[in-house]
Chain A
Amino acid sequence: MTMTAAQPGLQSIPALLARNAEQLGKFTAYREKEFGIWQAWTWKQTAEEVRSMAMGFLALGMERGDYVAIIGRNRPALYWAMVAAQSVGAIPVPLYQDAVAEEMTYVLDHCGARFAVCGDQEQVDKVIEVQETVKSIEQIMYLDKRGMRKYDHSRMNWLMDVVAEGRAGHQRFEAELNKRMAELTYDHPCVILYTSGTTGKPKGVVLSNRNIIETSRASSEFDNLKPKDEILAYLPMAWVGDFIFAIGQAYWTGFCVNCPESAQTMMTDLREIGPTYFFAPPRVFENMLTSVMIRMEDASRMKKRLFERYMAHARKVGPAILDGKEVSAADRAKYMLGELFVYGPLKNTLGLSKIRVAYTAGEAIGPEIFEFYRSLGINLKQLYGQTEASVFITQQPDGEVRNDTVGVPSPGVEVKIADDGEVYYRSPGTFVEYYKNAESTASTKDPEGWVATGDAGFFEPDTGHLRIIDRAKDVGKMADGSMFAPKYVENKLKFYPNILETVVFGNNRDRCVAFINIDLSAVGNWAERNNIAYSSYQELAGHQRVLDMIQEHVSETNESIARDQMLSGCQVHRFLVLHKELDPDDGEITRTRKVRRRIVEEKYADLIDALYGGKDEIYTETEVTYEDGRKGKIKATLEIRDAKVFDVAQKVAAQ
């Protein structure tokens, strides 16, 4: 079935919903696992639910231009709440559900939300706390009833009661709702998404209906998405990617959005659904691979040998077969056997059997990880994007997939590289403004509509693919004038499964040093295998043998960095393994898990001094924030180690 192109009547998400209800009425729009069973809603039912909810919102007095905060995990009713809010002319503002009350206060105050739709009691509690300072919040709605009986309901409603009221009052509200829906245009704000921001306070990115719908149309056509496609919605609703995939593209093409039962069941649910279109940050792919490898370690010798043999073959010919290149008949036959014995069952276990298109973005993905999935025949591709662009800036077309580039400009997007190397873009998806922040808007977007990405990169001359080096503001100079690109080094280090996170310092210094976070599941499993007892992250992180292992990884990384003449000055001379994991609750990384370099630098200034000071160990106390917002302190004595550094190997670089 082909969808009609954008036309005057289809200038909002509610309008797309109405079209889907009419043209795809019997297709499944949403699925959610509840009480152990996948419950499903067709587009027709969805449209009916959203209409009733919108009328319920009208009954509560929701006005045009009101801001409606949506806080909770991915559930159909919360997606409907966004579309219902749009239907009455209000603007949804999804928030990160794991944010503490303090962070929510800023966002809710900044947008002046009048309504808050919460997933459960936990979120309601936070909003009630916020209400003490943010007086604009008038009504709270919640989806999960548990524990809510005793709350004061004078300004609070169960979302389903609101829906019921809207349904009951349809005769009263229908005319008003139709009127408001008809008013929606392409220039009307579709959603405000707060970027977690690696520096400073979050900024509210206003995306219009035009931004979302045009981007969704272009990207859906790029990958030929169909109403029969399935996705799993498990990434935070406040993240632009989830909004584009689970609302923009889903409503444009009419494919089905599946919501997992709970955060912990995501892997099981993934397997049961078997999505055809899948997005995951590199971290998820890494975790999946790590769990496969751990389980293979425990497998019988026969299985292990079979696995190793066929994986070696897959690495050799798998990507070529996927790209449709020429491969000998014998290799193809062997690959088919592998599919039967190894790849097929493995993909099935991972829930990736039916994948047609999979994307990863946000961070660089390790070459081995990327290759692993490609060699299994999973069409994993990379894209480059940001909230301000409604996601898509560049993406990789089928058949031109590589690990080290982020692809060609997406349809409709213009990309240019400034003299200093910073990447700029202009597209129909380019955001309208930062809400109530004209200054930042002006400094990010010029009058001609070009937006600075803040990333430094270049186009490969022969392929036309974009390569990103680092955040433009992070790229600096070493004391001797050579280039300092911390992300480049960090990514190399993070490709080791044992290293979860790392921060490299060295701007204006004579050499680089690094903080390292170990991956508790990978290192923990290794510890178990080697009979190393530990009781906490801190203890394991300080273990001699763990330090030995990390030291080896750092030295190997240095060896590979030394091969690159331009960046050989970035070798890590000294490192330490941090006594705690960098945590969004402490503001050290963003909710999307990007390191906030400056905050880390300030917070751990004593450790950086010690790394440069030549000490062998350092005692430190660190403040930590618990999930409920309380604060505490952890103390530790950290060992500082030297890593082997290499001379710039002229010969290797010349090859």
Chain B
Amino acid sequence: MLDTKPDEGYTTADGRQIGGVAMEMKNITLRFGGVVAIKDISFDIRWGEIRAIIGPNGAGKSSMLNVISGFYHPQDGEVWYKGYRRARMRPYQVARTGIARTFQNIALFEGMSVLDNIMTGRLNLMNAGFISQAMWWGKAAREEEEHREKVEKVIDFLEIQHIRKTPVARLPYGLKKRVELARALAAEPSILLLDEPMAGMNVEEKEDMSRFILDVNDEFNTTIVLIEHDMGVVMDLSDRVVVMDYGKKIGDGTPDEVRNNEEVIKAYLGVEHD
């Protein structure tokens, strides 16, 4: 597929090269009946960057993520991905274009082991037919070995070897979040969407998760789009931040720019009364 020109990129403060535009939102408007969840929003996501979307409750962050993932189709506006305008797609088709995600409310298969859960992340990359897989014969057997190897690399990367065979239902919340990240990573995505990866975590778990997110970006050069409530975490992690409030975009820029943006301060801290 066609990537945009690399000379459009920029260099971050810590010296990482960010590439051209991976995905562009053009005047997106999303309505549910009479409710306008997203109102005329435009921004872009560049290859290799960590892009955050922040905003107060009900600002439309998750809806935005669902638009990016192709799960919601906006009434107005266009999504351009890898240089093409994206048509309406089914979820599995989106996954095949290299987009993977995690969920705000963990969506794992509770009864299956961690390993099996992560293996499902590779379903889209398996080619063996149904019968061959059922018999575990020929191509299916060969394929599984290859996929297992990839999955083991992810397990090693996220340091979850000790729960490899544990059913997900028995895991504490923080680890489940990590398993979900593992499953998304197993799909070898070019864009990874994280919906509140640190919600409900304690400080130590948050620090661990932050390190993993940075490491993923560093090691696999994965473009990451994340929604997060915790301002501190977002400002530390991300290269550029989109701020939303009541479905509108009120700020867009580097963490420093956003931090000093009047509108953003108003949305987060409230307006001072005279």
Contact = CB atoms under 8 A, between A and B. Distances in A.
Interface stretch (B40-48, B129-137, B159-167, B192-200): B159-167
A150 B157 CA distance: 17
Interface in B121-173: 148-149, 152-153, 155-157, 159, 161-162, 164
Given A146-B157, A146-B219, A36 B152 contact: yes
B33 interface: no
Interface stretch (A262-270, A309-317, A364-372): A262-270
B219 A262 contact: no
B218 interface: yes
Contact of A261 (B14, B149, B161): B161
A223 interface: no
B15 interface: yes
Nearest to A627: B204
Contact of B152 (A35, A146, A264, A268): A35
B215 interface: yes
Interface string B189-220: 00000000000000000000001001100110
A447 interface: no
A634 to B, nearest CB: 16
Given A35-B152, A150-B14, A265 B215 contact: no
Interface centre among A36, A37, A268 (most CB of B within 10 A): A36
A301 interface: no
A149 interface: yes
B219 A35 contact: no
A33 B152 CA distance: 11
B161 A264 contact: yes
Contact of A36 (B155, B214, B215, B218): B155
Contacts of A264: 161-162
Contact of B211 (A34, A147, A149, A265): A147
Contacts of B164: 36
B156 A35 contact: yes
A35 B161 CA distance: 8
Contact of A265 (B152, B161, B214): B161
Contact of B149 (A33, A35, A146, A149): A35
Contacts of B15: 150
Contacts, number: 36
Contact of B153 (A35, A150, A262): A35
* Chain B binding surface SS class: helix
Contacts of A33: 161
Interface in B80-123: none
B120 to A, nearest CB: 17
Interface string A464-490: 000000000000000000000000000
A262 B161 contact: yes
Interface in A32-78: 33-37
Interface string A147-183: 1011000000000000000000000000000000000
A37 B153 CA distance: 11
Interface string A276-317: 000000000000000000000000000000000000000000
B219 to A, nearest CB: 7
B211 A262 contact: no
Nearest to A626: B204
Contacts of A35: 149, 152-153, 155-156
Interface string A522-537: 0000000000000000
Contacts of A268: 162
Contact of B219 (A34, A37, A149): A149
A260 B27 CA distance: 54
B44 to A, nearest CB: 25
A355 B88 CA distance: 63
A147 B161 contact: no
Size range of the chain B interface in the assembly: 10 to 19
A261 B219 CA distance: 21
Contacts of A36: 148, 152, 155, 161, 164
Interface string B213-230: 011001100000000000
Contacts of A149: 218-219
A150 B162 contact: no
Nearest to B156: A35
Interface string B65-78: 00000000000000
Given A35-B149, A35-B153, A147 B218 contact: yes
Nearest to A261: B161
Nearest to B162: A264
A150 B218 CA distance: 8
Contacts of B14: 150
A224 to B, nearest CB: 35
B207 to A, nearest CB: 9
A262 B162 contact: yes
Contacts of A262: 159, 161-162
A264 B219 CA distance: 24
A648 B214 CA distance: 65
B35 to A, nearest CB: 40
Interface string A207-227: 000000000000000000000
A34 B156 contact: yes
A235 to B, nearest CB: 18
Nearest to A264: B162
A147 B156 contact: no
A147 B215 contact: yes
A146 B162 contact: no
B242 to A, nearest CB: 25
Nearest to A263: B162
A51 to B, nearest CB: 28
Nearest to B164: A36
A36 B155 CA distance: 9
Nearest to A122: B211
Of the candidates A35, A150, A264, A265, the one having the most CB atoms from chain B within 10 angstroms of its own CB is A35
Contacts of A150: 14-15, 218
A604 to B, nearest CB: 26
Interface of A: 33-37, 146-147, 149-150, 261-262, 264-265, 268
25 contacts: A33-B161, A34-B156, A35-B149, A35-B152, A35-B155, A36-B152, A36-B161, A36-B164, A37-B152, A146-B157, A146-B215, A147-B211, A147-B215, A147-B219, A149-B218, A149-B219, A150-B14, A150-B15, A261-B161, A262-B159, A262-B161, A264-B162, A265-B161, A265-B162, A268-B162
Q: For the complex of A and B, list the 3 residue pairs with the smallest distance between their C-beta atoms, beginning with the closest.
A: A264-B162, A35-B152, A265-B162
Given A36-B155, A146-B219, A268-B162, 16 more contacts: A33-B161, A35-B149, A35-B156, A36-B148, A37-B152, A146-B157, A146-B215, A147-B214, A147-B215, A147-B218, A149-B218, A150-B15, A261-B162, A262-B159, A262-B161, A264-B162
